[in-house]
Amino acid sequence: MSDETVVDEAPEVEAASATEPEPELVHGAPVVWARGMQVAFPALDAYYDTVGALKADGFDFCADLTAVDYLVHGPRPLPAGIDPERFEVVVNLLSMSAHRRIRLRAQVPAAEPVVRSLFELYPGTEAMEREAFDMYGIRFEGHPDLTRILMPEDWEGHPLRKDYSVGRVPVQFKAAPAAR
């Protein structure tokens, strides 16, 4: 044995590896993983087509559709290229055959809160979209009956918006029975 120590030369690092890796995409929508679930962020104009493509991929059940108002929340983590808006429409899809689920979070601007309805793809979303309309004021274009579902028809405003004034509602009590 010799006393010489052989040192392997480090391989050269390519300049391209210093850049960030390409983000994972699902039908053109950037994806992150949260709690073991894929979360896709489709652009608003691609929202309906992305959901349609996922349905064709076997996501045959829309488990939930709701909305979120981020008016008073601080910055939230979003994938690169996704600009935060005041509202989000959140959709949870299931593939029963593949035992998979995916969540979609579409950013909806406060200036024009309009999203294409998923009713044609998933008829079960009819009531869920009506609830999001009633509580947040997000309109679902192409919905067959976009009317209030929880609040009276003459109710003003949308109660789950963060800027909705709580106000006071007069409460009418029955007269207490007379003491004997």
CA atoms lying within 13 Å on the CB side of residue 53: 13
Q: What is the pLDDT of residue 4?
A: 52
Q: What is the pLDDT of residue 6?
A: 44
Tell me if residue 125 falls in helix, strand or coil.
helix
47 within a domain of the structure (yes/no): yes
Closest by CA position to 85, among listed 42, 49, 117: 42
CATH of the domain at 50: 3.30.460.80
**Residue partners of 37: CB distance under 8 A and separation at least 6:** 101, 102, 103
Closest by CA position to 47, among listed 73, 82, 71: 82
Residue 87: alpha-carbon gap to chain centroid: 9
Task: Judge whether 103 and 40 are in contact, CB under 8 Å.
Answer: yes
Global pTM reads: 0.80
Q: What is the pLDDT of residue 11?
A: 45
Q: What is the pLDDT of residue 5?
A: 47
Q: Which domain holds residue 95?
A: 23-70+83-141
What is the Cα–Cα distance from 126 to 145, expressed in whole angstroms? 8
Domain total for the chain?
1
165 within a domain of the structure (yes/no): no
101 within a domain of the structure (yes/no): yes
Task: Judge whether 108 and 88 are in contact, CB under 8 Å.
Answer: yes
If the chain, 180 residues long, is cut into consecutive pieces of 10 residues, what is the mean pLDDT of each piece? Answer: 48 50 88 94 98 98 98 90 96 97 98 98 98 98 97 93 78 69
Quote the Cα angle for 98-27-128, to 5°.
70
Q: What is the pLDDT of residue 75?
A: 85
Q: What is the pLDDT of residue 152?
A: 93
